[in-house]
Structure 1
Amino acid sequence: MTGFDHDVVIVGSGFGASVAALRLASKGYGVHVFEAGRRFEDADFAKTSWNLRRYLWAPAIGCFGVQRIHKLPHVMVLAGAGVGGGSLNYANTLYEPGPAFFEDRQWRGLADWEAELAPHYATAKRMLGVVAEYPHSGPVEQIMADAADDLGVGDTFRRAPVGVWFGRPGETVPDPFFGGDGPDRTGCTLCGNCMVGCRVGAKNTLAKNYLALAERLGTTIEPLRTVVEVRERPGGGFDVTTVRSGAWFGRARRTVSAEQVVLGAGTWGTQQLLHRMKDSGALPRLSDALGRLTRTNSEALDGAVAVSVPDGLGLASGVAITTSFHVDERTHVENVRYGPGSNLMGMLATGLVPGGRPLLGRLGALVGGALRHPITTLRLSSLHRWSERGIIALVMQTADNSLTLSLRRRFGRPVLTSAQGEGEPNPSHLPGAHLAAQAIAARMQAAGGVPAAARGSWPEVFGIPLTAHFLGGAVVAGDPEHGVVDPFHRVWGHPGLHVVDGAAVPANPGVNPSLTITAMAERALSYWPRRSAADARPTQEELLAERS
């Protein structure tokens, strides 16, 4: 558009951002994407998680991998980095949430969300190449089914819907999804390293679908550029300032202008940017609800580990997540695996300690167990072939709990911090997760003939849960008193600014949220007009008038 460098600048390239890149390019907009992480070809991913430079994201020390780790007082966050965002290191798992999510009090009065989003879930499934049920069977899948039976919830067991091209293992074929318009694909070899980065080319990352198609339509993607400011221009539009990711010196600060900006930097990135822009006055009308209703998907990462590799079980063979069951109506359990050699995340694991105790009580239980069984404790704690000895249990809930995020100064710099928010207290442990881990451990020991034990995580011992699905904080709401974006994902008070990533998700879905983020973004982008056409969406003033 005349007067701007770009019609639309998109910050980030994860699920929501990638939808925006494709849909806006198809409507005639000039789209430019800034991504803090690097671009990966299949062969660029780490072979195992021990290749820290290619696996971890810590650009200040030269690590430009796919795995981000962030720490807040009340949660430790695992997230993705690179062109394709969280799709590069997620577990390919694409569930739809249950009714509790669509009926959450935060947004239930705005629409019949289950019906409203249904066609967009269908589009998202088609674009992400969802296979409705993981098509392979093995010992892990049987262990999970048996554990569900032991807990009396066998009727809830199911195979996971996954976004993977199975085809013939290792065989490369022309694009099987988009009539030849996408990249060639290679059949899954069940190597287990989906969350380290798929070197085979079987995983349906965003670089294989939305982003590949968007670039064919003219979208430009600039990796290794971190957005540090989005500032409202006096005459309309925005200035977007970036620096070179991870640079100590020579940051190459650069500013471009855009008529509209779409934020899709993931919940952590989007919240951090919005908080800083509110604090600096760059976006002066941002809602005071910013940071409220930040969700962790009420998650825990527990599991089971054997003292040695069980013969014949092949625990590390398969895609990352293959099955799930419900311990109760709001607690969802999935098995998770890493491939052989990818043992780094085992450093987070430790003994399973009873929840509900003070810190000294939890530490005492851990030390007591080690003193009673020192040899077994050492063997369970070993990282040697850890991924081949265990099953991680990823546990999620639809519980109505939240955190509130805000800025505080650390050594003069603004950083995110957290406090307990609305609803139930954000849990530091989940009793249902412990039950599931114990049932899985018992079945693993029976199947493998090797002693096995339920395991927890070090953050959980210290009362800090882990989450791989950080959500909310800039949520959909009917007015700026209760949320940051309107039902069309426009930021209240700044309607040329949009949030389409997990930060807009208003409730805990209780399942992996990637499909929901994609569907919500598909819906939001479906309402955008074609470039230069009239906008049929009601203005924010009209939306507020309807509510009054």
Structure 2
Amino acid sequence: MEQVDALVVGSGFGGSVAAYRLAEAGHSVVLMERGQPFPPGSFPRSPAEMGRAFWDPDAGLYGMYDVWSFGGCDSVVSSGLGGGSLIYANVLLRKPERWFVNETPDGGYEPWPITYDDLEQHYEAVEDMLEGTPYPLDRAPYDNTPKAHAMQDAAAELGLHATLPPLAVSFAPERGAAPGLSLPIVDAGYGNLHGPQLRRTCRLCGECDIGCNDGAKNSLDHNYLSAAKFHGADLRTSHEVKAIRPRQGGGYEVDYIHHTVGDRLRKRRLKTIGCNRLVLAAGTYGTTLLLLRSQGDLPGISKALGTRFCGNGDLLTFLLKAKDRNRVRELDASKGPVITSAIRLPDGLDGGAGGGRGAYIQDGGYPEFVNWMVHSFDGTIERALRFVVGRVLELFKWSPDTNLSKELSELIGDGALTMSSLPLLGMGRDTADGVLRLRDNRLNAEWTTETSELHFERLRKTMQSIADVLGADYADNPMWFRKRVITMHPLGGAPMGATPDQGVCDAFGEVFGFPGLYIADGAAMPGPVGPNPSLTIAAMSDRMSTRLLEKAAAANGHGSKTHSVTGAEPVAGTGSPDGVAGDSAYGSESGEVAGTRGSAATESGRTSLSFTEEMKGFITFGATEPRVGELAEGRERMSFRLTITADDVAGFLAEPEHTARAEGWIDAAGCGGRRPVQRGWFNLFAPAGAEDRRLMKYRLYFTDAQGRPRTLAGEKNVLHGPPTRIWPDTSTLYVRVLEGHVDEDADAEAVVVAAGVLHIQLADFARQLTTFRTAGPGGPGSLIRFGRFFAGELWEVYGPDLT
């Protein structure tokens, strides 16, 4: 029997990360993927090719779409090297910090066995590898994307928050370069597993969900899998794992078959491989099905197997005849990547206005080449009737065929109808009360939309409001009349839990009672992620890999190479209630002087006001321009946490520069890690020479690890524009690190050591709103005056010109 140190099953967001981490640390790794590789240029495009693009080996189909149909939902998952990244819409959103909970029947909440703080550094590692970047809507020709502007305007009119989320798409040929259409992409240092293929930047064709033939999509084959192969991982495609079992003396035996395109399943011989560590990452359905079928060989596995299944609250609807921002022409949803924008609906857990369960609504798209509707319709009605009759008959079977790949392949035939004007994709915190079971050795799901009715109705009503704003006709997906949903994000089935009674695996993905057996995909989720799950799955796999490597090193009695994390992982669930781990928000570790806030105001009879702000981003040493430093190849992370204090609120509001003091710390490796701010100033809405422009200015004195004086000088540019600019303008800080302690008047002559851009994350901003404090007489009134001043300045800049 062949033996290997680590075997990874599946090449999606969990498996690719694990394969890379383990191979990079020097372990012998075999990754088995049932599907085929899809280099740029090989994805199907013609109707005939699309008709064969489904996965059902029994029917001789080896394509990438694997379609499932269950009692309450239909699902589309992927089969191919790169897993779901081949067909997902590129969105890299973190799970909000306060959403790491599940509802309990009594109306309360129970925490997940893992917290946001546990994942934060792993989120950062994955984001860096996948090179997430927002859609460059402020630059030509990307600014001519009507659906993106329409989503921003609809959100503003409805009082909702819209963002341009990070997308795993190459708009520029390399980090730090200007974006452009169809430019050659510079190859990474680890090469590309597909060979010297020419990848080109995004040409805005809307083909993300059917495979990017330009290679502009940063799918996992172009990064994690290529890097894993570079470090020695053996990537085996057309290898489908069928069963697993513990091996006497430790480790596992894995049965698999090797597909040969054109052969039938019955002709294939079952083979076996042994491994010391086994990582299951075959997706929610694949991993759960494999564990259920192997349950007899896994005595004592948790009874939670198959539980906590959900569809991440997915809901697909359509806006028909939607207009652009001026309501002049119909939107062209094929222009741009599939998703450009995300509107977030607030959650009751966020602590602000609004309530219910949080959700996201994103614009959809479809390929510009969709012209199948002009093809001959000969036989289309006949095929459609045959498909419908077949599905009705399946409903009366005890064990219906839940895989629809073959049927959909026949339905499409040589042509299909185009999509609608503007698809809307909703997702959020539905109820994870579904169960996955085996029925006649087939996977079956027991799940309903009824327990998540409020979530789905909230999504539908909001989408109907967006339709009203855009002058569109709203249409549910055709399945909704039976209260069925279509999900691209099935989750659960082998959930993590604090104990074997609560979950199949622990907070690091290791299966209870089976050392060395790990789950690294959506099956491990104990509930819905809320936003698109891909980034969270990859971050959990990165964290799991760190723990696996630590345990392997301890077992071998020596150290091991690490990836992005050094030292011990924090214990799951030990983060403080407000999500700040390790130190007090105002303790001495933060570089602030404990006990001094508000004291001057109290002694003088004045009223002081303070709040805490945290910002994170990237800088590059040697760069002099912030935008260049944010994206340059040699960039590094920088963050700060400051307490801003106006010792006299009345004086602060009255004087033109609105100056307050800033205390706290700066953290950047190039500066020696976390360094205390020795002296700092903050200016809120300082004049900038024009009636419709203001500056938020930061000037922080500190010393680096060598004792050299340094100044962080930063500005937020608050410039007249549409209301949709308020958030990006007020949450983006352009920074330069200067040599010496430099006064503002001497900036022009100062030597720039580094430059970059910092941002306020939404979760950090939500926490910031809870940190406002006053001291002295008239505190509440002072807080109200400050709020009125802030809102008034925003109106001055962003309000309409009434002259």
TM-score by length of 1: 0.81
Give 1:458 shift: 2.5
The residue number in structure 1 matching 2:159 is: 153
Q: Which amino acid counterpart does residue 312 of structure 2 have in structure 1?
A: N
- Please, which of 289, 311, 318 is the counterpart of residue 296 of structure 1? 311
Structure 2 gaps of 5+ residues are 104-108, 173-179, 348-357, 374-379, 381-414, 560-570, 573-803
* Distance in structure 2 (CA, Å) of the matches to 1:193 and 1:230: 37
Map residues 4-153 of structure 1 onto 2, 5 A cutoff: 5-47=3-45, 51-53=49-51, 55-104=53-102, 108=111, 110-111=113-114, 113-135=115-137, 136-137=142-143, 138-150=145-157, 152-153=158-159
Map residues 314-329 of structure 1 onto 2, 5 A cutoff: 314-329=332-347
Report which structure shows greater RCO (CA 8 Å, sep ≥6): 1
* Distance in structure 2 (CA, Å) of the matches to 1:259 and 1:102: 32
- Please, which of 432, 450, 459 is the counterpart of residue 433 of structure 1? 459
Q: Is the 8 A contact 1:263 1:501 kept in 2?
A: yes
Deviations 1:459-503 (A, max 9, x none): 222222111111112111111100000122111111221100011
The residue number in structure 2 matching 1:305 is: 320
Map residues 154-233 of structure 1 onto 2, 5 A cutoff: 154=160, 156-167=161-172, 168-175=180-187, 178-179=188-189, 181-182=191-192, 185-233=199-247
Deviations 1:490-543 (A, max 9, x none): 111112211000111122121100000011111110122369631499xxxx99
Q: Which amino acid counterpart does residue 116 of structure 1 have in structure 2?
A: D
SS at match of 1:396: strand
Q: Is the 8 A contact 1:7 1:258 kept in 2?
A: yes
* Distance in structure 1 (CA, Å) of the matches to 2:323 and 2:119: 46
Deviations 1:353-383 (A, max 9, x none): xxxxxxxxxxxxxxxxxxxxxxxxxxxxxx9
Give 1:401 shift: 3.7
Q: Which moved more, 1:474-483 or 1:92-101?
A: 92-101
The residue number in structure 1 matching 2:662 is: none
Q: Which moved more, 1:523-532 or 1:63-72?
A: 523-532
* Distance in structure 1 (CA, Å) of the matches to 2:319 and 2:121: 39
The residue number in structure 1 matching 2:445 is: 418
Q: Percent identity?
A: 31
The residue number in structure 2 matching 1:334 is: 362
Q: Which amino acid counterpart does residue 397 of structure 1 have in structure 2?
A: G
Q: Is the 8 A contact 2:313 2:455 kept in 1?
A: no
Q: Is the 8 A contact 1:172 1:187 kept in 2?
A: yes
Give 1:196 shift: 0.3
Map residues 227-246 of structure 1 onto 2, 5 A cutoff: 227-245=241-259
SS at match of 1:174: coil
Q: Which moved more, 1:436-445 or 1:28-37?
A: 436-445
Deviations 1:207-261 (A, max 9, x none): 0000000011111111112111112222322111112447233113211111111
Q: Is the 8 A contact 1:153 1:325 kept in 2?
A: no
Give 1:180 shift: 5.9
Root-mean-square deviation (Å): 3.0
Map residues 469-548 of structure 1 onto 2, 5 A cutoff: 469-529=489-549, 533-535=553-555
* Distance in structure 1 (CA, Å) of the matches to 2:87 and 2:372: 14
Map residues 348-363 of structure 1 onto 2, 5 A cutoff: none
* Distance in structure 2 (CA, Å) of the matches to 1:335 and 1:49: 25
Give 1:442 shift: 3.7
User: What count of residue pairs does the alignment treat as equivalent?
Assistant: 482
> Residues 428, 73 of structure 1: CA spacing in aligned structure 2 closer, same or farther, 3 A cutoff?
farther
Deviations 1:97-130 (A, max 9, x none): 213432447973745x111111000001001110
Q: Is the 8 A contact 2:74 2:486 kept in 1?
A: yes
Q: Is the 8 A contact 1:44 1:199 kept in 2?
A: yes
* Distance in structure 2 (CA, Å) of the matches to 1:344 and 1:5: 49
Q: Is the 8 A contact 1:143 1:440 kept in 2?
A: no
Q: Which moved more, 1:64-73 or 1:516-525?
A: 64-73
- Please, which of 397, 412, 433 is the counterpart of residue 402 of structure 1? 433
> Residues 395, 318 of structure 1: CA spacing in aligned structure 2 closer, same or farther, 3 A cutoff?
same
Give 1:311 shift: 5.2
TM-score by length of 2: 0.56
Q: Is the 8 A contact 2:323 2:330 kept in 1?
A: no
The residue number in structure 1 matching 2:394 is: none
Deviations 1:281-320 (A, max 9, x none): 1222211101111121112111212399995743211001
* Distance in structure 2 (CA, Å) of the matches to 1:344 and 1:76: 24
* Distance in structure 2 (CA, Å) of the matches to 1:110 and 1:510: 17
Give 1:170 shift: 1.5
* Distance in structure 2 (CA, Å) of the matches to 1:153 and 1:48: 42
Q: Is the 8 A contact 2:323 2:470 kept in 1?
A: no
> Residues 532, 4 of structure 1: CA spacing in aligned structure 2 closer, same or farther, 3 A cutoff?
farther
SS at match of 2:434: strand
Q: Which amino acid counterpart does residue 111 of structure 2 have in structure 1?
A: R
Q: Which amino acid counterpart does residue 298 of structure 1 have in structure 2?
A: G
* Distance in structure 2 (CA, Å) of the matches to 1:384 and 1:293: 36
Q: Which amino acid counterpart does residue 341 of structure 1 have in structure 2?
A: F
Give 1:17 shift: 0.2
Q: Is the 8 A contact 1:396 1:510 kept in 2?
A: yes
SS at match of 2:273: strand
Deviations 1:177-197 (A, max 9, x none): x44645763111011000000
Q: Which moved more, 1:51-60 or 1:159-168?
A: 51-60
Deviations 1:253-274 (A, max 9, x none): 2111111111000101001111
Give 1:153 shift: 2.7
SS at match of 1:211: helix
* Distance in structure 2 (CA, Å) of the matches to 1:322 and 1:50: 30
* Distance in structure 2 (CA, Å) of the matches to 1:250 and 1:180: 38
Q: Is the 8 A contact 2:162 2:343 kept in 1?
A: yes
1:252 correspondence with 2:269: yes
Q: Is the 8 A contact 1:27 1:531 kept in 2?
A: no
Map residues 362-377 of structure 1 onto 2, 5 A cutoff: none
> Residues 47, 431 of structure 1: CA spacing in aligned structure 2 closer, same or farther, 3 A cutoff?
same
SS at match of 2:553: coil
> Residues 120, 54 of structure 1: CA spacing in aligned structure 2 closer, same or farther, 3 A cutoff?
farther
1:459 correspondence with 2:479: yes
* Distance in structure 1 (CA, Å) of the matches to 2:84 and 2:251: 28
> Residues 209, 469 of structure 1: CA spacing in aligned structure 2 closer, same or farther, 3 A cutoff?
same
Q: Is the 8 A contact 1:429 1:460 kept in 2?
A: no
SS at match of 1:157: strand
Q: Is the 8 A contact 1:285 1:494 kept in 2?
A: no
Q: Which moved more, 1:99-108 or 1:483-492?
A: 99-108
> Residues 5, 49 of structure 1: CA spacing in aligned structure 2 closer, same or farther, 3 A cutoff?
farther
Q: Is the 8 A contact 1:18 1:84 kept in 2?
A: yes
SS at match of 2:498: coil
SS at match of 1:472: coil
Q: Which moved more, 1:194-203 or 1:502-511?
A: 502-511
- Please, which of 423, 431, 455 is the counterpart of residue 392 of structure 1? 423
Q: Is the 8 A contact 1:294 1:473 kept in 2?
A: yes
> Residues 39, 302 of structure 1: CA spacing in aligned structure 2 closer, same or farther, 3 A cutoff?
same
SS at match of 1:434: helix
> Residues 342, 235 of structure 1: CA spacing in aligned structure 2 closer, same or farther, 3 A cutoff?
farther
SS at match of 1:534: helix
> Residues 322, 512 of structure 1: CA spacing in aligned structure 2 closer, same or farther, 3 A cutoff?
same
> Residues 307, 475 of structure 1: CA spacing in aligned structure 2 closer, same or farther, 3 A cutoff?
closer
* Distance in structure 1 (CA, Å) of the matches to 2:495 and 2:478: 31
Structure 1 gaps of 5+ residues are 348-382, 446-451, 544-548
> Residues 311, 51 of structure 1: CA spacing in aligned structure 2 closer, same or farther, 3 A cutoff?
farther
Larger-Rg structure:
2
